[in-house]
Amino acid sequence: MDPTTLSATEQSDTIAGGTLSAAELMQATLERIAVTNGSVNAIVSLRDPDDLITEARAADRAPRKGWLHGIPIAIKDLANAKGLPTSKGSPLFAGQIAAEDDLMVSRLKEQGALVIGKTNTPEFGLGSHTFNPVHGPTRNPYDLTKSAGGSSGGAGAALAARMLSVADGSDMMGSLRNPAAWNNVYGLRPTWGAVPSEPTGDIFMHQLSTLGPMARTPLDLARLLDTMAGPDSRQPHGLTPDAAAPQVKERGPRLRLGWLGDWGGALPFEPGLLDLSERALHQFGDMGHEVHPLGPPFDAEAMWESWITLRSFSVAAGLHEHFLEPKERDYLKPAARWEVERGIAMSAMELHAASMVRSDWFRRTTPLFEEVDVLVLPSAQCWPFDLSLTHPTEIAGVQMDTYHRWMQVVIPASLIGLPVVNLPIGFGENGLPAGLQIIAGRGGEGRLLQFANEWHQATDWPNRRPPEFTALVE
């Protein structure tokens, strides 16, 4: 048995039962990384293997901390893990060592996780294509010439390639969904406020980005969410979500699924994606759920303008100090400079108008979730694209007017902080994977995870079609 092919729950149970040691799992993990990571480049800043084996042996001798006891994990390189570099993909931070763990990382360690390194991310997490001048690009395990998505692209690729069984990520504009779809795994963006960020800087105004889990099974997704979630007394907006893992059952209530498709023609898609999505919808119907095609419930362009205004404001708040220093500004990639320039030029009333549109969209979802139980959209508007591209410039003949317009399909959930899970739904004729977003109302993680688990029991795409590892060896 290769323990790296097990789910995190299976790894946890076998370690608890004494049939697998943390040291054996660590050794197998390091061997898998040695074989695959040179081609995929998903894990960066890997710790010394001898130190990791020593740490795993210590875990075998120690009392069991929690369900992650002895399980290797790598932290997305936007978050701090004590003793490891946090580059954020930027030369500005390359080599800087974190003095402390972020709150999320400390919660993982409290459950016994062993941090082995970091997972790669785009510079400052901007753009759903994982490449940066510090660590280079992360390649898609299903086709090494293609992007792994982002900004949690390193996490998604590491899961697909069996270098990790669970991974953390973060999501402002699809970063837990797009890479999950492109790597044939699960990713969950929680209700905003369910998983706290760091209690630093402004803790009131910016409600677009959130931390969340990725995994190869919905049960692992739920258990990692339970570990990450829960309020922090130093922050004002925290939620106390219901425990997710107990709600993961093989069969739950039949759901009414609202299919939004291409949003009434507003969203272009590359050929094959909507066809694959609709095949999955037919399978949902075969499982006993009701699929209801919906017209566009809100003006797509108004939503887009609201989003890019609030996003630029948020990005500028985080990066403007670097932008104002000429020597540091030169290190910012064009997308980062574009965001900051827009953000610092905005007036208060422009931000108010954008938030009014956001508020109107949230109010519109109240009757919408009375008509249906969840909303359904594709997780991406294009297939994994060529690794050498910075970003797609057109989709199905439609020109993309910004570096991130091609990700527009993810903003209905992001703009108003709704929970959404990516379901892997199979492969196109090009051999590349795709996914669907299943979106619930606030606090609906349990419903999403229960549905995802029923889908997983029926399809199990991550195990049914893993990458061909022989293709990963250079």
* pLDDT tens, residue by residue, 287-346: 999 999 999 999 999 999 999 999 999 999 999 999 999 999 999 999 999 999 999 999
Catalytic residue among 7, 45, 147, 175: 175
If you search the block for the tokens 């875990």, which residue do you land on?
59
Q: Rounding to the nearest 10 degrees, give the CA dihedral for residues 72, 426, 131, 377.
A: -110
Residue 336: per-residue pLDDT:
97
> Has residue 473 got a pLDDT over 50?
no
pTM score over 0.85: yes
- Residue 170 contacts residue 150 (beta carbons within 8 Å): no
Catalytic-residue membership of 87: no
Q: What would the mean pLDDT of 356-369 be, rounded to a whole number?
A: 98
pLDDT digits (tens, 9 = 90+) for 192-228: 999 999 999 999 999 999 999 999 999 999 999 999 9
Catalytic-residue membership of 175: yes
Catalytic-residue membership of 82: no
Catalytic residue among 151, 170, 277, 312: 151
Q: How far is CA 435 from the centre of its chain?
A: 12
Catalytic residue among 76, 88, 109, 333: 76
Per-residue pLDDT band at 176 (split at 50, 70, 90): very high
Q: Which residues lie closer than 8 Å to 25 by C-beta, 6 or more apart?
A: 3, 4, 11, 15, 56, 70, 71, 72
Per-residue pLDDT band at 464 (split at 50, 70, 90): very high
Both structure tokens of 239:
């939620």
Q: What would the mean pLDDT of 130-151 be, rounded to a whole number?
A: 98
% residues pLDDT > 90 (the chain): 95
pLDDT digits (tens, 9 = 90+) for 377-418: 999 999 999 999 999 999 999 999 999 999 999 999 999 999
Per-residue pLDDT band at 474 (split at 50, 70, 90): very low
> Has residue 68 got a pLDDT over 80?
yes
Residue 243: per-residue pLDDT:
87
The phi, psi pair for 467, rounded to 5°, reads -65, 155
Q: What would the mean pLDDT of 218-239 be, rounded to a whole number?
A: 97
Mean of pLDDT over the chain: 97
CATH 3.40.630.20 given to domain 3-472:
no
What ranges do the domains of the chain cover? 3-472
Residue 469: per-residue pLDDT:
57
Q: How far is CA 251 from the centre of its chain?
A: 25
- Residue 317 contacts residue 206 (beta carbons within 8 Å): yes
